Structure 1
Amino acid sequence: MAKKPQENILKNIETLDAIAAPLLRWFHSEKRALPWREEPTPYRVWVSEIMLQQTRVEAVKPYFERFVAALPDVRALARADEDTLMKLWEGLGYYSRARHLQSAARLICSDHGGKIPARFDDLLTLPGIGRYTAGAVASIAFGERRPAVDGNVLRVIMRLLACPADILKESTKRAVEEALIARLPENAGDFNQALMELGALVCLPRGAARCPSCPLERLCLAKEANLQAELPQKTPPKRRRTEKLTIFLLSKNGKIALEKRPTHGLLAGLWGFPSMEGHLKKNEAAKALQALGLIPAKLHALPAAQHIFSHITWQMVGWHVELAETSSDEPSAATKSSPASTKATEANTPPASLRLHEATAPYDAQTKTPPFLWATAQEIADIYSVPAAYRSYFPYLQAPDGASS
């Protein structure tokens, strides 16, 4: 099938000719004070734009300030060890963003002398940077006349033009980019931020648009036709699948077991609490642990919990398990926290298919016990990045008083 010409995607495009002046006046008067705007260096703009992907501004602000305080420039980011990087990112979600950020920092150091590329096309070659992020960094940090088209911008443009095109289609995004690049004022960075700000504060999703506060109200064709609640159009999301899990807080000598998740897939490479598929009852949980060479002394039932990812819902039950002494000699968290011991631990980690959260058989014929990192509750809070998916069980890192056993 022939590709639909871009000129047929957007209608009433001439409406965009008149938006720059009123939009910029509004932005300079109403824009929010944000930490990355106070000092818009290329590094700060880049980090903020990566953090803002899929995450609300108010949620990002404290993470941004903590991140740039700990890693103030590209070279510091490139040198950061994994635990530090993941701990700084903990709670933001979409952890691959942090790994791509560091991969890009290392390339910037090796290929660009430690300086973030100024050109849109060069930015696109870096890991984790797509057309929106490249446009935002190039325009805001370097003044290049490039559009930055995110979800907020798409919503504003589709309403201004009363356009029913599907905003999840790449052809629609590219058509909007081309429409805007021909109309960008000299201060393209402010213009891009103004469109984003309008979508974030005024031209809100669904029926929540604050049209009387909009500087573009008189130009908006959706407002004229009362279509704000119907636009923009997008393909309905796929239904999330559900996974049932049993979470184990394995306790020994005042410490809790952590395990590294597999290097690929959901929450890849992060620390998590051991888990097994299904909702295991007390006797089932005890037998499953015994099959792995773990001897439960006491099992305390924990409340059920749920965590929703973009495409999966975890429905969890939990057990706090006080383990009896075993013959295995697990290294302490303090020992494992050193870079040398971390490398040794990774070298001894079994294949992902044999880890506890997926295990059906022991990985070690002698001890049968999966390798864990044993950490105190304070070490988990301070050092190791445990994703928010497990957060419902943080209050129970100590054996819960009065819990059923």
Structure 2
Amino acid sequence: MEDLNELDELIQGNTAEEKLQSAKEIITGMEKDIFKLRAELKRNENSMKKLQEAVSASAQNQNNTSSAFLLPSEFKKSWEILIMENILDLFTPFLSSQIDFVILSQTLVKQIISYVDKEINCKVSAFLSLLGLNESNSDKIRKYSLKMFQDNYLTAFPCPPASKIANIFLGIVSRNVYNKAKALVETSDFENFVNNMHKLSVHMLLNDPPLDVKIPQEIEYIKIIKPDDYYYIDGFPVGNPEAILVLPCVMKGNHIYAGTKPSVLVLPEDFNKNPSPIINKKSMIEEQRSADPCVRHQSSLILNKYSEDLDSYPPLQRRKEDFTKKDCLLCKINSPCAYCSKVTLLALAKRIPNSANQRHIARVQSNSLVESPAKGKYITNALSRRLSEAAKKMDKKTFIKNKHIDKEACKVM
């Protein structure tokens, strides 16, 4: 009853219509107040969530407070210098070929990060050996030694000679750009890039949790919608241009670290995505079908030169000169070499169909001559097919015969 009396006091008006209108206004005002309270509650919940994340991050980063270790702001500044200056200075000769630029820069970055990771694993393995522990304890040892690694990372993980990274880099680049790449590794810009990237890689892998640059497996094209979201190595974003991704941003788990951005090259309007300037896969496949085992292996390396765990042991070097010896079929009938035998069989199989339209004469036991064009054509086709099959089998048998010398050659087959 008291609530109803209070409600009657709030409602103003002499007539029923005026009281109804007053009640509607009161209800509308209360709904607005409820909406404001809900919005404020949502803001408070978000604030509490951010505080919880900050507390969790401070707990995770308690090992990242070394005085010698880079702060996030210092890392971001060094990363921007690497992206905006060092990469551009080093790979300037490839600016006209954007795909070459991207592949080479990504390959070099991946190799340096991989090299640093191997260095850290070697240090951890040394600790395990010293303590007499097995590999199952490597994660624990790495966690316990993390603070010590951070305090002494400049002495524990010195930058390797640029020539060492250069040899690794040149060992996996395409033969189409090998000469240009070889000229790059001999410059001071290459040494400067290796030094800076090595230092950043040590910071990334010793961070708790580790930082990561998730380089895509294939070329990635981006439509620029928000220009402020990218680093531009070359070109200016006019309108909504298309760009090619060089390096993605540095990630800490599922979050962007220290406000880093993806780096891109703005593409010209007449840019052709296909075929790739660095290699034409269709022509390479045709080449593999006709090449010897060594060439096929080298071609497969070029097609997959940016993938990991490549086979670094090519098959036996077998060239045409190895077959054209003095003891070939042209010299000794009883000891033909594989190359001459194959060529002879294929040539014979090629010539026989040309005589299919002629009149074929077969000699029978009675020494009489029988003319049989249809039967001769059938014999010709069968003989041609058998000769071709024999040539293929001879090529395969000759190749398998060397498997005790070169097992990898058999894998190529």
What TM-score bracket applies, with the shorter chain setting the length? under 0.3
Q: Normalising by the residue count of structure 1, what TM-score does the alignment of the two structures yield?
A: 0.23
More helix by share: 2
